[in-house]
């Protein structure tokens, strides 16, 4: 009776004893699609039948099984009844075994690797974080193009009619003007697309991070998640970081040159901050970013919409600062 190490590479797995001898060996069976699912499940801590059989086969020879993954260790212990442990720090045994067993001859697993990569990418693309990231990019693009075309149009007219009272288009410019006039149609399309993007964002956010959505509002919630990279990463951030999220440039400028640190980033456009005189905005921003931090954590860890309490607190503070309470 001894210790066994579970090592593997995509679809081929071994249990190896302390003397580097393989005591059992297996290869995933099934179509490429089935094998891909097995690989992806294993990474989530769900072992395919081949791994269970492998452990049973090694059973009489192996007292303790060592694996590298906590989640897998738990499920294996439950399903096989074998004692399964995970080394506290990277165990040199695994490194040496990997070099011994999985250094060459890996090319046969290339198709499986590519198909796993494709499935992983598909899943990542439909993840709410990625959808929010893309929709925020679209929103930014529509905002910028609206402003761009609108500015162009206004400037064009301003330059042609210095006399605002009685606008007259010079005959030579009529053709030009008729093109510019049609910019209106473009602006309309852009604002329709912008509205649809907001609607799509609202659908994702209401489901994915309802507390954050209700506390920060649609655009701030979405932009915070996009800037952090994911809701989960936002939930690990301190209120102080959240307060200046999106003001990266100003932050580093301050750090280098000693100019004042930015007080707000993305949250600056929140109506409670906008509606206050500037000497009160910092105070409001501090509470708002605190509530946002709590909201993001609630959405990630407890999956409960606790926005009612958080909003109440914000509202109170707002009225206090406005001098109404």
Separation of alpha carbons 199 and 217, rounded Å: 13
* Cβ distance to another protein smaller for residue 95 or 303: 95
* Cβ distance to another protein smaller for residue 105 or 271: 105
**DSSP characters for 47-115?**
--HHHHHHHHHHGGGEEEEE-S-HHHHHHHHHHH--EEE--SS--HHHHHHHHHHSSS--GGGHHHHHH
* Cβ distance to another protein smaller for residue 95 or 195: 95
Residue 159's alpha-carbon distances to 92, 154, 174, 186, in angstroms, are 74, 9, 14, 21
Minimal distance, residue 99 CB to another protein, in Å: 3
Minimal distance, residue 2 CB to another protein, in Å: 22
Per-residue 3-state assignment (H helix, E strand, C coil) for 220-249: HHHHHHHHHCCHHHHHCCCHHHHHCCCCHH
* Cβ distance to another protein smaller for residue 31 or 89: 89
Residue 250's alpha-carbon distances to 181, 279, 281, in angstroms, are 39, 19, 18
Identify whether the C-beta of residue 183 lies closer than 8 Å to the C-beta of residue 152: yes
State yes or no: residue 47 binds another protein (CB under 8 A): no
Stretch that binds another protein, among 123-131, 211-219, 234-242, 293-301 (CB under 8 A): 123-131
If one counts every other C-beta atom within 10 angstroms of the C-beta of residue 11, the result is 22
Please select the residue that binds another protein; options are 34, 117, 274, 275, rule is CB under 8 A: 117
Stretch that binds another protein, among 54-62, 76-84, 235-243, 251-259 (CB under 8 A): 251-259
Minimal distance, residue 255 CB to another protein, in Å: 5
**CA 147, 152, 158, 164 torsion-angle sign:** negative
Please select the residue that binds another protein; options are 69, 143, 177, 219, rule is CB under 8 A: 69
DSSP-derived 3-state class of residue 288: helix
Residues in the interface with another protein (CB under 8 A) total 36
For 185: left if phi > 0, alpha if psi spans -120 to 50, otherwise beta; the answer is alpha
State yes or no: residue 52 binds another protein (CB under 8 A): no
State yes or no: residue 304 binds another protein (CB under 8 A): no
Minimal distance, residue 152 CB to another protein, in Å: 31
Separation of alpha carbons 324 and 30, rounded Å: 70
State yes or no: residue 183 binds another protein (CB under 8 A): no
Length of the chain, in residues? 325
Please select the residue that binds another protein; options are 17, 57, 120, 177, rule is CB under 8 A: 120
State yes or no: residue 255 binds another protein (CB under 8 A): yes
* Cβ distance to another protein smaller for residue 40 or 160: 40
State yes or no: residue 258 binds another protein (CB under 8 A): no
* Cβ distance to another protein smaller for residue 90 or 277: 90
Positions 91 through 110 that interact with another protein (CB under 8 A): 92, 94-95, 98-103, 106-107, 110
Minimal distance, residue 233 CB to another protein, in Å: 11
For 264: left if phi > 0, alpha if psi spans -120 to 50, otherwise beta; the answer is beta
Interface ranges with another protein (CB under 8 A): 8-10, 39, 42-43, 68-70, 89-90, 92, 94-95, 98-103, 106-107, 110, 113-114, 116-118, 120-121, 124-125, 130, 252, 255-256
């Amino acid at each position: 009776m001894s210790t066994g190490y579970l090592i593997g590479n995509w679809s081929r797995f071994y249990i190896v004893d302390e003397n580097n001898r393989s005591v059992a060996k297996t290869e995933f069976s099934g179509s490429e699609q089935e094998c891909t699912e097995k690989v992806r499940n294993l990474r989530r801590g769900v072992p395919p039948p081949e791994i269970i059989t492998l452990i049973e086969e090694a059973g009489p020879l192996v007292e303790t099984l060592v694996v590298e993954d906590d989640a897998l260790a738990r499920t294996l212990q439950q399903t096989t009844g074998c004692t399964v442990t995970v080394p506290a720090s990277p165990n040199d045994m695994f490194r040496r075994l990997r070099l011994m067993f999985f250094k060459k001859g890996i090319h046969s697993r290339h198709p499986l690797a590519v198909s796993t990569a494709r499935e992983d990418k598909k899943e990542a693309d439909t993840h709410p974080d990625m959808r929010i990231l893309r929709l925020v990019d679209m929103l930014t693009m529509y905002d910028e193009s609206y402003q761009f075309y609108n500015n162009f149009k206004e400037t064009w007219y301003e330059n042609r009619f210095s006399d605002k009272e009685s606008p007259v288009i010079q005959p030579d410019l009529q053709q030009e003007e008729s093109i510019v006039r049609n910019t209106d149609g473009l602006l309309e399309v852009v604002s329709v697309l912008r509205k649809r993007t907001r609607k799509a964002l609202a659908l994702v956010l209401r489901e994915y991070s309802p507390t954050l959505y209700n506390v920060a509002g649609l655009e701030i919630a979405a932009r915070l998640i996009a800037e952090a990279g994911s809701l989960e990463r936002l939930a690990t951030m301190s209120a102080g970081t959240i307060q200046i999220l999106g003001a990266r440039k100003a932050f580093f400028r301050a750090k280098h040159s000693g100019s004042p640190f930015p007080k707000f980033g993305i949250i600056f456009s929140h109506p409670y901050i906008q509606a206050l005189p500037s000497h009160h905005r910092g105070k409001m921003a501090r509470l708002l970013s605190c509530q946002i931090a709590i909201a993001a954590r609630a959405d990630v860890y407890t999956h409960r919409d606790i926005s009612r309490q958080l909003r109440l607190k914000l509202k109170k503070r707002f009225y206090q600062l406005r001098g109404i309470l």
